[in-house]
Chains A and B, each alone.
Chain A
């Protein structure tokens, strides 16, 4: 076969967003030779786009806040389906992880007393989100990137990993290609951390970038790892609606956190009917359904959304607290949000489901394979609270880095089967050799339409089944793809493998959605509108590959110890 490079490290981390960077920093600090690999340039990962803030019970603004409340808010937001162990670590460790960013040079917005300022967000009892205007993710990724490049990590940019390489049970390497040259590359390692983010590009309207094709989910699945709770995908209530070219781009929840009000075409503040207590700051699943219902029932804005207005806070305040929203609407939609409302509608945003991991070290069910960040599942249960992702990245990035370094320590590198590698290489090159075949772009668009239409905010058995049939048909069509041009930086070729990942993830999503016969968090079944705490509320769904076929299994949730469950009964 054609020649390829080989690099050898103790630990490799696939993905350089918040989770991957934090994992790399920790792994390297523990003395492991660490590689950090990413599809884009360093600093461009999805984390850079995060806007509203990072949740941590620092109690700088609302002094009554503490980890217990954050833990409870997170579990309740997730409809008690969360991995409680993860939610616990998360609530307890987030404050220190956020302060650490400050020690590494981050400049958060300040309180009058000179501490880190915090803002309100949906589902959080207290003002809890540390932030920098509405560009918190940029601050976070730059800080971690800075720390990272001075930590002796080897960074491999614009390199796409396509296969995890196994020796017996355990993963021993990762194979892929350089986007620039199209040449192949093999990384040998004793431990691998997946930090590849989400799957939103399977949908037509999404806040996610081209990178969100579910590569990590798919590669873990193909390597035999279990995925958990894949039916839960978050539709963020407020995506842009108009003009068509920007449909789906995120309107940060910080708009509501700063007092933004939602109304329908009749001028009614409709959240009063859906959640009179929390109103606009209800959890995302509720707000998304409410907007969707208003539009369905004919009370939508001119372009089929709801109105979101923050102009009553005054132009100066809006420009200071929400500068990038101000520019986003001014430049893309010719709308001045300091003067009038925006139009918003739910957009595919975040996947709660993911690789099943242990909270302690983020180890998956495959030896040597770890996962952290959005690609990992369990932490957020059926619905994620805003701000809890950025904190998740920090808390579990660190834990995964530590876990992987410890696992790798003292192990020698296994041999990698040349035959296996040749097989992967041939599979990847196939679309160049096919004389006939489908255009990957066309299949991608078709998949996006299917997911948007059939596995959306509201679901029915009939819809989901249609969706599954259509995904099956697309899988068939995607077997023979054909592309043009050379192997050098060829997006059409890149899409061929990405498409395969999206098809796996979409199938998992649809199959779990069909099986969960209740409504819970982000999963809303019109045919089963109620939550069934006694039965479904006690079950997680596990997806794994059995002899090449997708297998679905229910598994009882792990119950939390009494001292924690007491926290919830005390409330009542």
Chain B
């Protein structure tokens, strides 16, 4: 059994520092296991969020060697022998303590998005091909790693103006729901700030669910918004076809 060196951020809103730990590595171990080992054997108060330990809940987002990762999905054997592993909280949100950040802003944004709205006399028939696009977006586990890497939020902190990729696909999902009748284009433009996105695709690259955030979500959403202002007929067609 080899021993790994971890340097973990310990601190709070006032600041903090890296602390080094040595952790024995077992076969198949992930970074979250190493953090558990630290809790049980060195520092019982090390703060980290987790739930499923199976990459299904999106709680354990951290920055491992500078890259946003799910701690429960990052294997210890993905690092070179003897490589020091740094673990930091995600940067786009304020630190509460150690690896735990304040992500409450995301919940505020989520609440503002107009909910699914079917017609009164809806007949509840939908075909697989019509729901597939929406299902892709609904795979989102709300790890907020896309929010974390988007430069508009991370570097420019425009949380006042831009809802972020996670919520772009949420708006897109509603818009493309085969039985939804609401028009969210004004919302997407004015409130969610879809125009801010300049399609760098950083969000798509980090998504652990492999959701094509930009190609399938944001770009079509941008097209719809443009249609609203210049070509209402093709908006209607897109809405009906769910594209």
Residues of A at the B interface (CB closer than 8 Å) are 40-46, 48-49, 99, 102-105, 107-110, 113-115, 132-133, 135, 138-139, 142, 146-147, 149-150, 157, 180, 209-211, 242-246, 249-250, 324, 327-328, 331-333, 439-442, 445, 483-486, 488-493, 495
Contacts and interface: CB of A to CB of B under 8 A. Distances in A.
B26 A244 contact: yes
A331 B89 CA distance: 23
B44 A41 contact: no
29 contacts: A41-B59, A42-B107, A44-B58, A44-B59, A46-B51, A48-B57, A49-B57, A104-B116, A105-B116, A107-B177, A110-B128, A113-B125, A114-B126, A135-B56, A149-B110, A149-B111, A242-B28, A243-B28, A244-B26, A328-B55, A332-B30, A332-B75, A439-B44, A484-B45, A489-B96, A490-B45, A490-B47, A491-B39, A491-B44
B21 interface: no
A452 B121 CA distance: 54
Nearest to B117: A105
B142 A110 contact: no
A331 B103 CA distance: 27
B44 A331 contact: no
Contact of B29 (A102, A149, A245): A245
B49 interface: yes
A20 to B, nearest CB: 15
A270 to B, nearest CB: 27
A99 B59 CA distance: 29
A336 B10 CA distance: 38
B125 A114 contact: yes
A44 B96 CA distance: 19
Given A243-B28, A489-B97, A109 B45 contact: no
Rank and list the top 6 A-B pairs by shortest CB-CB distance, nearest first: A243-B28, A492-B44, A485-B45, A105-B116, A114-B125, A489-B47
A346 to B, nearest CB: 17
B124 A441 contact: no
Contacts of B181: none
Contact of B44 (A333, A441, A445): A441
Nearest to B177: A105
Contacts of B50: 209-210
Contacts of B126: 107, 110, 114
Interface string B82-104: 00000000000000111010010
A44 B47 contact: no
A29 B194 CA distance: 34
Interface residues on B, range: 35 or more
Nearest to B32: A245
Interface in B101-124: 103, 107, 110-111, 115-116, 118, 124
Nearest to B26: A244
Contacts of A107: 126, 131, 134-135, 138, 177
Interface in B3-21: 12
A138 B141 CA distance: 8
Interface of B: 12, 26-30, 33, 39-41, 43-59, 73, 75, 96-98, 100, 103, 107, 110-111, 115-116, 118, 124-128, 131, 134-135, 138-139, 141-142, 174, 177
Nearest to B36: A441
B138 A139 contact: yes
B110 A332 contact: no
A441 B39 contact: yes
B52 A48 contact: yes
Nearest to B113: A146
A43 B135 contact: no
Given A243-B29, A484-B45, 6 more contacts: A41-B107, A49-B56, A99-B124, A103-B124, A324-B56, A332-B28
A489 B100 contact: yes
A114 B110 CA distance: 29
A154 to B, nearest CB: 12
Nearest to A155: B107
Contacts of B12: 488
Contacts of A40: 49, 51, 59
A135 B59 contact: no
A492 B128 contact: no
Contacts of B111: 149-150
Contacts of B124: 99, 102-103, 115
A45 B51 CA distance: 8
Contacts of B98: 489
A244 B27 contact: yes
A135 B103 contact: no
Contacts of B131: 107-110
